[in-house]
Structures are given as structure tokens and as C-alpha cells.
């Protein structure tokens, strides 16, 4: 068997709120609560298990999702419709823009303060220099 990431735990102030937020943006389903976890499964079999912990214990993490162009368009539309601030860069210095790195990408924050990213091509899979628009 080759090594694969199976699941990861994402800390949240409210595990249901965070799971539903991300599932909505990405067009995924929220799974059935299991113990302290609210799962959201991705199409490559990785499960994001949201767990509620005290807000002061949450350390910001970054999660990047590779999506098709159609999925990007749909997620981007949901982000805009919800009035969620998005950025072209991980340092949040280019608000209201997306990046072009041979594909398209953007960053946004989830309710617990984690940095979320959607990209249409993996970084380094092209020869172009990233730009924002």
C-alpha cells in the first residue's frame, strides 16, 4: 500500500459551523457527527474532521484545495454571494483579487480563523510568474 493522507483534525470554535461553512463553499457534504467530530470528505478520500476546542487554543492553519475550473467558478461565486473577503495572496495583502499562477487561486478565512485556499493548478506545474487580478 502506498502512503496516503486519510484524515486530519481541524480545530474550530464551533465544529458544525466550520464544517458547514467549508462544505458550502466547496460544494461538499457534511458527514454524520462521529464522537467529537463533524466530517467533511473530499473527492480524493481525505476527511477533514472538525473538532470544537476553546477559541484561545486554536492556532491558525492553512488548507489548500485543488479544484477544477468549474468548481473554482462555483466556489468563487459562493464566496462573493456570501460577502466573504478573499485575497490573491497568503499574506492577505491583495484583497478582492485572485492570483494567476498558470491557473487561478484565492485565499479566504474560515470562521475559526484558518486560512483556506482554492487553486485550479498546483504551484510549480507551470512556467509562468504568479500575478493578481
pLDDT per residue, tens digit, the chain (133 aa), is 799 999 999 999 999 999 999 999 999 999 999 999 999 999 999 999 999 999 999 999 999 999 999 999 999 999 999 999 999 999 999 999 999 988 999 999 999 999 999 999 998 776 555 566 6
Decide: 95 and 83 in contact? Cβ < 8 Å: no
- The answer to whether the beta carbons of residues 46 and 6 sit under 8 Å apart is yes
Q: How far is CA 22 from the centre of its chain?
A: 7
Q: What pLDDT is attached to residue 1? A: 74
- Give me the helices (H) in the chain, please: 15-26, 69-81
Cell numbers 460577502 correspond to 83
Cβ pair 113, 60 in contact under 8 A = yes
CB distance 110 to 21 below 8 Å: yes
pTM as predicted: 0.91
Helical axes 69-81 vs 15-26, angle rounded to 10°: 130
CA atoms within 13 A on the CB side of 64: 11
> What per-residue confidence (pLDDT) applies to 131?
60
What is the number of alpha carbons within 13 Å of residue 57 lying toward its C-beta? 9
Q: What is the pLDDT of residue 57?
A: 97
Q: What is the pLDDT of residue 102?
A: 87
Amino acid at each position: 500500500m502506498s502512503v496516503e493522507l486519510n484524515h486530519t483534525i481541524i480545530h474550530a470554535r464551533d465544529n458544525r459551523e466550520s464544517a458547514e461553512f467549508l462544505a458550502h463553499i466547496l460544494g461538499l457534504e457534511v458527514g454524520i457527527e462521529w464522537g467529537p467530530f463533524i466530517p467533511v470528505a473530499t473527492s480524493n478520500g481525505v476527511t477533514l474532521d472538525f473538532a470544537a476546542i476553546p477559541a484561545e487554543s486554536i492556532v491558525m492553519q492553512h488548507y489548500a484545495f485543488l479544484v477544477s475550473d468549474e468548481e473554482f467558478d462555483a466556489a468563487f461565486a459562493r464566496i462573493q454571494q456570501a460577502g466573504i473577503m478573499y485575497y490573491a495572496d497568503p499574506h492577505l495583502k491583495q484583497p478582492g483579487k485572485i492570483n494567476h499562477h498558470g491557473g487561478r487561486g484565492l485565499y479566504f478565512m474560515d470562521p475559526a480563523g484558518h486560512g483556506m485556499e482554492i487553486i485550479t493548478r498546483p504551484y510549480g506545474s507551470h512556467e509562468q510568474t504568479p500575478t493578481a487580478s
